[in-house]
Structure 1
Amino acid sequence: MASQNIVAIVVAAAVSFLVGGIIGHLGTGIDTISSSDKEKISIMEKLVADKWESEEHLNHKIIDMVNTDNLRNNLIELAKFPHLAGTERDHQLAHMIRDRFLEAGFDTADLVPYDVLLSRPNRTNPNLITLEDGEGQIIFSSTYQEKPLHEDDSDPEFIHAFNAFTPAGDVRTEAGRGVVYVNYARVEDFDKLEELNVNVSGCIVIARYGKIFRGNKVLHAQERGVKGIILFTDPSDVAQEGVEAQDVYPNSWWLPGSGMQRGSTYMGDGDPLTPGWPSTAQAYRLKVEDAQLPMIPCQPIGYDDARVILEKIGGTPVPSDDWKGGLTGVAYNLGPELQDRYSNYTLRLNTHNVHQVHRSYNVIGTIKGKVEPDRYVLIGNHRDAWGYGASDPSSGTAQMLETARVLTQLISSTGWRPRRTLVFCSWGAEEFGLIGSTEWVEEHVNKLQERAVIYLNTDTCASGPIIHIPSSPLLWDSITLVMKMVPGVRDGATLYHEWEAHNVALNRTPSKIFTLGSGSDYDAFSFYCAIPSVDLTFQRDRSKYDIIKYPYYHTGYDTFYMMDKHVDPGFRIHQGCGRIASLLLKYFADSLIVPYSLQHLPEAMKDALDTFRKSGKRDKIINIYENYVLLEASLAKFADAVTSFQRQLEMRATNLDPVSIRAINDQMMKLEQVFILPAGLPGRPTVRHAVFASSQFDNYAPSGFPGISDLLYRIEELDAAERLKKEEEIKKHISDLTIMTERAASFLQDFHLI
């Protein structure tokens, strides 16, 4: 790791040069120096000290301090009751976390309220899907809560199944027709149906969860003229070892047939009524009807209920086996006709969701930095859950509380204090659209862009044993270094060895850290502010279980029992997560030179452009705009500038003063911000990172140069006038990217040059 070697050389040289030089200037021996001069030397030593390098024993102490019993006890408390955003239990946990921060010795810990639009089902009038026969008799009615299968599964405050921000609605099919199975409701699935002459317009469709964000599914259906959508979890994704009682929860981690995945369908981030601005008392709020929320009703169901509907669909057979799920005896026909014996049946989707403003709290705690208190190293985890939330998010919250205890105990027991300020964030209302974190970032955007060094997100620490840690390329080497320090959570010597072995099993060699897709509270930090961010999770073993998500995701079975019995007995995964988090925070808080790996940024950008070449899109782009080659040339120039910057940093190691060190850190800290488009990506004003952001057509998926991909999408299907307009947008966007890449190269020049 060349960048880390450079940092070590610079640090060692800077410390010895500065302190030695001062002593040499003031006198030949330390005993001859006056008390005031000794104080000056002490101040200088503090300014140039690299506590990560010099206090290595504290790093090992941190590893030993992260305690599995504490983590388990934290999770018992956090997952004891459902805690949907804006409910009384959610507020209680916010106060508890604030109090824990203060008791641990934080310098500040505050509740930060926002009044935001949330969504609820009607508790006394549940959302239902029904089948009626020709005489109007209801012969099937869907369930709206999971069956309690363990003693702690039932709670009167547990929310009915619903998809947040979809409207109240009452739609039904014609007798005997109007139901279409649309696979995963991706764009390509709807395209295939069109190719097969299966018309979804005016129909109710039923789709499997998975592959893409549920909000994209609803949007794609809405754009095709669908009047209602049903989402279900298929056994092929959540019950691969069988659907009998002995094969599923509570006897294993697999999902039983009544499990229903709740979740938001809002395609934006933050409060829907205050886009781009914090939802404070002074904010202008849109009318709900102007908030660009979904327009068609949607309801999730379990696979037991999905079977009842799917087995009655006739019409067109599936185009291939990959459209078939895991329900035995079900053909997964496409429709839109029902089978002949159900020709008088009508399917009805009736929802009663309500949109209403609720108060939601963030908890923000700080440990003040000793040398650079105006530089922030942040960690965040959301608090709200769709139910008990043992994995999502409480495994992350349990870890964050333990990380807070470990670092504050380090202060009280050793006198250590971080060079830079640590900021701990418990976010509210993440599940409804990353609301708490987005509102806070919108409120503090200028301060954060000037002062934030790194944001570490820990949404779901434990849903499996394999570390998954996508991030900004600037952080890749640091993440690798820390993974090599932490003991494994299985049988591996370190987390790095376990991660590498997993990648080998998946034929991913060499092992690679990925950039960030969307889906958690790093979004506003990374995609809006371009602050180097990382998402720390432990996920399923994909070499053993080739599934999209962990089976009990967003269901009533995400319980403490599930975690304690099946996912992380012994809480070693939680411990590994806490150790990684604690060490990463200390590494970035204490290193004299912020340990970014600059060379990976142009490398990752080049990899993204190479995907255009491999897919044939490069030729298409050049046919539209021949100056695309200037973007490639600018990227090569940027890569050379990074190499030159790192070489100069190494050469100047013997004469770096505190002001120069600060300026160098600022150059690196703000490098990604050069790639911010102030107006956002085309058609996406809140996504401003022009190089790395989520895909427009799958909010979960990472994408390099997403604006180019979005603008190219289906361009050949446009009429001449629309295509010409789109081509002009492509030209402008590529020009913007080229100018930003030129700026990035210039940004790394010696700081006296403009």
Structure 2
Amino acid sequence: MDQARTTISKIFNGEPRSYTRFSLTQNMEGGDSQVEMKLSPEVEEELESNGVGEHLHHHPESYRRKPQRTPKNICFLVAATLLVVIIGYLIGYLVHRKQDKASPTCDRAVSVSTDEESSQPESFAPKQLDWGEVKGMLGDKLTVSRIEASLSEFASVDHRAGSPGDEALANKVLRRFQENNMKTWNDEHYVKLQAPPTSGSNTVTFRGQSLGSIQGYLAYSATGKAEGAVLYAYYGRLEDFADLKDLSIDLNGKIILVRAGEISFAEKVDNAAKMNASGVLIYPDPADYDLSDTTQLFGHVHLGSGDPYTPGFPSFNHTQFSPVRSSGLPSIIAQTITPIMAQTLMRGMEGRNTPRSWKDGGLSGVLYKLGDLSDIVSVEVNNVLVETKIHNVFGVIKGVTDADRYVVIGAQRDAWGPGFAKSTVGTALLVELAKAISEMIREGRFMPRRSLVFASWTAGEYGNIGATEWLEGYLPSLSMKAYSYISLDGVVTGSDTFKASASPLMNGLISDTLKEVNSVSNPGKTLYALASGPSWETSVLEPLKMTNPAYPFITFSGIPSVSFRFTKSQGSEEYPYFGTLYDTREKLESATFSNLPKVVRAAGQVAGHMALRLVHDHLLRLSVGAYDKIIRGHVIQINKKVNTLQESGRLPNNFTSKWLISAIGSYGRGARALVDTIDNSDLEDTEQCRMLNDRIMRVEADLLSPYVSPTKTPFRHILLGLGPHTFTALVDHLDVLKSSVGSDDVDKLLNQFALASWTLQACSNALAGEVWDMNNNI
């Protein structure tokens, strides 16, 4: 249209249109037609500002003229009219053609969108196979030969966190994910790892004589030198120190010698620090570990999870690091020694005999003594802190209906040495599960409702640092969208027995899975059939410890999680090579009676069945009622202790635990309300299922206490966490009140009761439904 106007402007005015803007009007006066050129308002304003507006207004004839009716003018008028018609026709044609071209694109876009929306259930329906077909496909894809190839590919002699070997493995995992057409990314952190001395080594001397060369060490030990009389304290448990106190033995300033096992290195050191000891030596006793006399032990002594120098928040490179340290860092030095060093030390130790309840160890030619004041030991630890860049590697298989809800499957990639059982098996299984499920989808035979995120963590040997930093970095999103976590760390240490540690919400899923996977050592029987004892839970389930890779997911992030392992039969020796340089394929082959690839495949079936169940079914297989029994057990125990203290006068008679009892009643009603809602819901309704699933998975997160700081008390779970907010701490406080009581103690106890009650009540309300479904029962 601009071109048409320009042409007409030139015809009537003989001037280019670019000189002035105008509009065309027709003025019919007595049959005479005239064309008036009217300046645009902007131009009029500009002219007036330059002092020429008045001239224009007073001399209209200067811009208005009457056309002359000559043959020449008529011809020009006819030609102009024809030109306008032709240009108008061309413009109309071009516009119409453009619309014709655009319309099919738009129609197709609308059609695709509409078809996708309308036909998505139809296209999804043929691929919504029954569960038997899904697990059958996984079994076909997850083969022994594939697992064997991956075990060889990911075996590595040296892949400590942040090392070139660790980075090389990360790149291998990333390539494998990309080969499966998965969306991949990595998560980079700068963390502080404690390494052994850059020159020389840590030293231990007994009566002035060195015990020998030391390569093993304990990351995050305090550094410096400590000297004192050595005291043997069995496994370094609180009850072991209580036995020593019963013997009126002074623990102040002692160097504590303890055996590895029973509890973590960090707990041993923390217990010793509470007794005001000055240092700790840890060794593997032959009675507990079938290791050589010169075996070096590696580990860490941070009583926590994640980078201890950024507690509660992620170690991103752009983070303004807070000058705080984790309260779980030890205040005393700690060092590992070999069995032969412990033998030399204990042969020279004197003093009293050990308590009768302690069993002697297996050191040759040693009479186990507690030690004497003259048995002086000196320990020097020169470990160094190193800021290290680490990478977590991820790949995702996106779901169809709820792509923003996902199940995370993860495996540790790093190790102190070969780490075959510790990390190689899990990493190999991680990529093979990703490959198998990707192929099932690519062949069009399976379509997951929800997404699957595959994660390769690093710095796991330092206290689940890689995984915890990721949780800390993305906590708000993960706590709303991650339905569960399945750990593949250490899943094979034997072949005879199956063990699992998990959120109680996962119990039903574990039970169903055990009924579907056959034992390798007894091929004709399922894992469920081999579970002994009064129930499968007592045979299979183990307490969730802080060292467990699933621990931070449950207690810090509130994500229902599970870790499991195939191990040796009950009563036989556990796999002894974690934290040593002997964790090799040869050792693991021996532990699995040369059935390693088959046992790894069985572990893959367990993890795969649980993961696929969680993304295949309409409704999540998480057992909300499982917590009811656990909570009731805690409350019954607490109520009994309160009644006992009131009878003895340790607590006032008006002190009551009825609000806590009321909260557990609310939880039971909330769980039943959810079951009723499920029974009366259309489970084919995608949005309805989504809302129900969110309510189910939120139970774990709602059991995190909102009244404590995640930076000071990161493990906020009131049942499985660690800190004064937990039910365990409440029980311990009641036990303390048996010996003494004051107004401050009662006030603290009241506060603990209030926080526990309100946390539980809030969880119960959320479980019951929307705010209009909740009752103020407390």
Q: Same fold (TM over 0.5)?
A: yes
| Residue in structure 2 matching 1:582, options 604, 608, 616 | 608
Q: Indicate the residue corresponding to 1:126 in structure 2.
A: 201
TM-aligned CA distance change 1:203 to 1:652, over 3 Å: closer
1:291-302 alignment, distance < 5 Å: 293-302=329-338
Q: Indicate the residue corresponding to 1:242 in structure 2.
A: none
Q: Indicate the residue corresponding to 1:705 in structure 2.
A: 727
Q: How far apart in 1 are the matches of 2:404 and 2:452?
A: 10
Q: TM-score, normalised by structure 2?
A: 0.78
Q: Is the 8 A contact 2:259 2:284 kept in 1?
A: yes
Query: Residues 308-362 of structure 1, C-alpha deviation per residue, up to 9 Å, x if partnerless?
Result: 1112111111111524222243221112345xxxxxx753222221112111111
1:487-502 alignment, distance < 5 Å: 487-497=518-528, 499-501=530-532
Counterpart residue identity of residue 550, structure 1: Y
Secondary structure of the structure 1 residue equivalent to 2:191: strand
Query: Residues 196-240 of structure 1, C-alpha deviation per residue, up to 9 Å, x if partnerless?
Result: 1222222212111122221121122222222221101111211xx
Q: Indicate the residue corresponding to 1:603 in structure 2.
A: 629
Give, in angstroms, the shift of residue 449 of structure 1: 1.2
Q: TM-score, normalised by structure 1?
A: 0.81
Counterpart residue identity of residue 121, structure 1: P
TM-aligned CA distance change 1:618 to 1:609, over 3 Å: farther
Give, in angstroms, the shift of residue 494 of structure 1: 4.3
Q: Is the 8 A contact 1:486 1:579 kept in 2?
A: yes
Moved more, 587-596 or 284-293: 284-293
| Residue in structure 1 matching 2:211, options 141, 146, 151 | 141
Q: How far apart in 1 are the matches of 2:177 and 2:493?
A: 26
Query: Residues 245-266 of structure 1, C-alpha deviation per residue, up to 9 Å, x if partnerless?
Result: xxxxxxxxx3222223311101
Q: How far apart in 2 are the matches of 1:94 and 1:476?
A: 32
Query: Residues 34-60 of structure 1, C-alpha deviation per residue, up to 9 Å, x if partnerless?
Result: 99998655334568x697763531211
TM-aligned CA distance change 1:511 to 1:567, over 3 Å: closer
Paired positions, count:
657
Q: Does 1:79 align with 2:108?
A: no
Give, in angstroms, the shift of residue 711 of structure 1: 3.8
TM-aligned CA distance change 1:167 to 1:678, over 3 Å: same
Q: Indicate the residue corresponding to 2:138 in structure 1.
A: 62
Q: How far apart in 2 are the matches of 1:667 and 1:579?
A: 28
Q: How far apart in 2 are the matches of 1:50 and 1:710?
A: 56
Counterpart residue identity of residue 141, structure 1: L
| Residue in structure 2 matching 1:167, options 206, 212, 222 | 222
Q: Does 1:374 align with 2:404?
A: yes
Q: Indicate the residue corresponding to 1:688 in structure 2.
A: 716
Q: How far apart in 1 are the matches of 2:372 and 2:526?
A: 50
Give, in angstroms, the shift of residue 594 of structure 1: 1.4
Q: Indicate the residue corresponding to 2:558 in structure 1.
A: 530
Q: Is the 8 A contact 2:198 2:384 kept in 1?
A: no
Bigger relative contact order (CA 8 A; separation at least 6): 1
TM-aligned CA distance change 1:651 to 1:346, over 3 Å: closer
Give, in angstroms, the shift of residue 82 of structure 1: 1.9
Q: How far apart in 1 are the matches of 2:417 and 2:746?
A: 47
Q: Percent identity?
A: 25
Q: Does 1:736 align with 2:755?
A: yes
Counterpart residue identity of residue 60, structure 1: G
Q: Does 1:519 align with 2:539?
A: no
| Residue in structure 2 matching 1:486, options 503, 510, 517 | 517
Q: How far apart in 2 are the matches of 1:130 and 1:485?
A: 55
Q: Does 1:652 align with 2:688?
A: no
1:126-525 alignment, distance < 5 Å: 126-132=201-207, 138=209, 140-144=210-214, 160-173=215-228, 178-238=229-289, 254-287=290-323, 293-337=329-373, 346-465=376-495, 466-497=497-528, 499-501=530-532, 503=533, 511=539, 513-514=541-542, 516-525=544-553
Query: Residues 135-162 of structure 1, C-alpha deviation per residue, up to 9 Å, x if partnerless?
Result: xxx3x52342xxxxxxxxxxxxxxx300
Give, in angstroms, the shift of residue 629 of structure 1: 3.0
Query: Residues 617-672 of structure 1, C-alpha deviation per residue, up to 9 Å, x if partnerless?
Result: 77349964833233123213321331232133213348x63322221111112122
Q: Does 1:558 align with 2:583?
A: yes
Secondary structure of the structure 1 residue equivalent to 2:443: helix
TM-aligned CA distance change 1:375 to 1:39, over 3 Å: closer
Query: Residues 482-514 of structure 1, C-alpha deviation per residue, up to 9 Å, x if partnerless?
Result: 11111212115344235414x47xx98865635
Q: How far apart in 2 are the matches of 1:538 and 1:473?
A: 20
Q: How far apart in 2 are the matches of 1:288 and 1:613?
A: 38
Secondary structure of the structure 1 residue equivalent to 2:595: coil
TM-aligned CA distance change 1:528 to 1:308, over 3 Å: same
Secondary structure of the structure 2 residue equivalent to 1:236: coil
Give, in angstroms, the shift of residue 539 of structure 1: 2.5
TM-aligned CA distance change 1:391 to 1:695, over 3 Å: farther
Q: How far apart in 2 are the matches of 1:621 and 1:229?
A: 41
Give, in angstroms, the shift of residue 394 of structure 1: 2.0
Give, in angstroms, the shift of residue 428 of structure 1: 1.4
Q: Is the 8 A contact 2:204 2:380 kept in 1?
A: yes
Q: Is the 8 A contact 2:568 2:591 kept in 1?
A: no
TM-aligned CA distance change 1:618 to 1:682, over 3 Å: farther
Q: How far apart in 2 are the matches of 1:431 and 1:280?
A: 20
Q: How far apart in 1 are the matches of 2:172 and 2:332?
A: 39
Q: Indicate the residue corresponding to 2:36 in structure 1.
A: none
Q: Does 1:112 align with 2:112?
A: no
Counterpart residue identity of residue 234, structure 1: D
Q: Is the 8 A contact 2:211 2:344 kept in 1?
A: no
Q: Indicate the residue corresponding to 1:753 in structure 2.
A: 773
Q: How far apart in 2 are the matches of 1:455 and 1:257?
A: 39
Counterpart residue identity of residue 83, structure 1: H
Q: How far apart in 2 are the matches of 1:79 and 1:621?
A: 61
Counterpart residue identity of residue 687, structure 1: F
TM-aligned CA distance change 1:468 to 1:428, over 3 Å: same
Secondary structure of the structure 1 residue equivalent to 2:256: strand
Q: Is the 8 A contact 2:308 2:325 kept in 1?
A: no
TM-aligned CA distance change 1:714 to 1:489, over 3 Å: farther
